[in-house]
């Protein structure tokens, strides 16, 4: 139990209940924790067109959204770079989680 936050600014992005195993090797979620947590942009790099997602607060790159997860309630797979996320367990203080993640802060 808990939530995944943006490692850059601490914005809450995903609830642990929205995480699922997609088999792609990256953390996958089927929806953001609330509307407005993410910002999406068209990404036409590397010879393909994808939907990039960014943190709505700090504009940090998080990954891409694909509509290839029919096993989820939304059909979407938010394929997130694990280094962009900070897990905060239920009951844990965000500041403590950041300090544990970045001990020099």
pLDDT in tens, 26-85: 899 999 999 999 999 999 999 999 999 999 999 999 999 999 999 999 999 999 998 899
Catalytic residues: 79
The two three-digit tokens of residue 25, written as one number: 């090797």
Q: What are phi and psi of 18, to 5 degrees?
A: -95, 0
- Supply the pTM of this predicted model: 0.86
pLDDT bin (cut points 50, 70, 90) of residue 92 is confident
Q: What are phi and psi of 96, to 5 degrees?
A: -65, -40
């Amino acid at each position: 139990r808990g939530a995944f936050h943006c490692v850059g600014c601490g914005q809450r992005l995903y609830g642990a209940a929205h995480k699922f195993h997609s088999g792609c090797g990256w953390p996958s979620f089927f929806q953001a924790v609330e509307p407005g947590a993410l910002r999406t942009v068209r990404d036409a790099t590397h010879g393909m067109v994808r939907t990039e997602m960014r943190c709505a607060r700090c504009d940090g790159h998080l990954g891409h959204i694909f509509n290839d997860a029919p096993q989820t309630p939304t059909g979407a797979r938010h394929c997130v770079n694990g280094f962009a996320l900070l897990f905060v367990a239920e009951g844990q203080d965000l500041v403590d989680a950041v300090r544990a993640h970045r001990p020099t802060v």
